[in-house]
Amino acid sequence: MKKIINNPDEVVSEMLQGLVKANPQLQYSKDLEVVSKIDKENKVGLVSGGGSGHEPAHAGYVGKGMLDAAVAGNVFASPSPDRILKGIQEADTGEGVLLIIKNYSGDIMNFSMAKDLAEMEDIKVEMVVVKDDVAVKDSTYSTGRRGIAGTVFVHKLAGAKAAAGGSLDEVKKVAEKTIANIRSMGMAMTSCILPGVGVPGFSLGDNEIEIGMGIHGEPGVERTTVKTAAELAEILCNRILEDYDYSDSEVAVMVNGLGATPLMELYILNNEVEKILSEKNIKIHKALVGNYMTALEMSGCSITLLKLDDELMNLLDAPCDTPALKV
């Protein structure tokens, strides 16, 4: 294992401290592994989180126009309810808090428990669950579809609605509408190594890729041979377009890297995605290309489509200022 770390047990805490040192507008709650905004605005609070190893998710999306707090678990493991409760307390200004959760059983259990604890303290809490991955119906860590990179769009649009002064119910409605219009599909070319484990969790041969693999290395749809960017774009986009009707619509696209894939390759993929969509008369309003939700040093990508109407478009274009996304 070659990694720039000190002690595997301290990677989450040291990473978040490093993030806050580069972003002095954020603060870090030691031991509870919560990153939150220093300047509180009076508005609905947004909290997201989950296992670490998906950087810049989730702490990278804390800031104006997006999240108010992010809660980190250990690598690929859900944070415990006491940590999430701290995130809720940091984000609450009396207007209530929305939890944005990805559909993994551990996350669902821990976030719902935190919601109960916060309600015992008279904080109003609502939650939404992102399940954008069209690859598989059930998976190693999820009952039903997994939540992956599309979650970033949910942070962005719900965050814009909260910043515009929306009520807890209105912000939740926007989050749910966004979730309903998002589909993602990914693939992986290599495994990744958890710092505490030291060896790869599985192996893919030199000429092997896995279509539909999850962001923790969970099994996908099929193992196949290396493809061209055009073939990959075709495979991933088709799965998405078969699952939800994007025809004649305007969309936001995210071409996301899993951590070890060079930007060169992501831009090449984006070029192919644009060709496929324009052939189908789908207009791209905005494309985000880069590492938005990763899996340590896994190489691979995911493609996300978000179908836009006027409301969602305005929220997508609203300004935001976070370490990982600025509009």
Backbone φ/ψ region at 165: left (φ over 0), alpha (ψ -120 to 50), beta: left
Of the pair 199, 264, the CB lying nearest another protein is at 199
Residue closest to 107 by CA, chosen among 123, 75, 129: 129
Alpha-carbon gap, residue 185 to 135, rounded angstroms = 6
**For the packed helices 168-180 and 310-317, what is the interaxial angle rounded to 10 degrees?**
100
CB atoms within 10 A of CB 106: 17
Residue 109: CB minimum distance to another protein, A: 5
* 84 or 288: CB nearest another protein: 84
CB of 30 to another protein, least distance (A): 14
Q: Are 182 and 296 a contacting pair, CB within 8 Å? A: no
- Bridge partners for 155 per DSSP: none
Cis status of the peptide bond prior to 56, with omega within 30 of 0 = yes
Q: From 281, 141, 271, select the one nearest 214 (Cα to Cα).
A: 141
| Minimum gap (Å) between residue 207 Cβ and another protein | 27
First to last CA, the chain: 37
**Interacting residues with another protein (CB under 8 A):** 73-74, 77-83, 105-106, 109-110, 112-113, 116-117, 140, 143
**Which lies closer to another protein via its Cβ, residue 113 or residue 318?**
113
224 phi and psi, to 5 degrees?
-145, -175
Judged by CB, which is closer to another protein: 140, or 247? Answer: 140
Beta carbon of residue 295, minimum distance to another protein (angstroms, whole number): 19
Cβ(175)–Cβ(157) below 8 Å: yes
Check residue 122 and report its DSSP letter.
T
Q: Between helices 105-120 and 81-91, what is the axis angle to 10°?
A: 60
Closest CB 144 distance from another protein, rounded Å: 11
Any idea which residues carry the catalytic annotation? Answer: 54, 216
CB of 116 vs another protein, minimal distance in Å: 7
Residue 40 contacts by C-beta under 8 Å, 6 or more apart in sequence? Answer: 68, 93
Nearer CB in complex with another protein: 109/263: 109
CB of 74 to another protein, least distance (A): 7
* Exposure on the CB side of residue 268, measured as CA atoms within 13 A: 11
Residues 214, 147: Cα–Cα separation, whole Å: 9
